[in-house]
Homo-oligomer: A and B are copies of this chain.
Amino acid sequence: MKAHIHITLKNGVLDPQGKAIQQSLASLGFDTLENLRQGKYIEIELSDLDSATAHTKVTEMCEKLLANTVIENYEIKIIS
């Protein structure tokens, strides 16, 4: 069982890393960029057999360690 997790900054939270990337791209000539935001992407392989248990566990991982829920959102996809 695999889980794909996207961790992104909440709307309204400043993203200095994203802004830096956007400026670097603009200086390379990519001038049609309107906005860029960077997040984290995590792939996990789990030995749990059913997807409901896996989803519960991954949610707990996000809440406890992976995401800072004050400023970040997370999205979990379970792939069996």
Contacts and interface: CB of A to CB of B under 8 A. Distances in A.
Interface string A32-67: 111111111111111110000000010011001110
Chain A, interface size category, equals 20 to 34
A41 B43 contact: no
Number of this chain's copies in the complex: 2
A25 interface: yes
Contacts of A28: 61, 64-65
Contacts of A24: 65
A14 to B, nearest CB: 15
Nearest to A32: B47
A10 to B, nearest CB: 13
A34 to B, nearest CB: 4
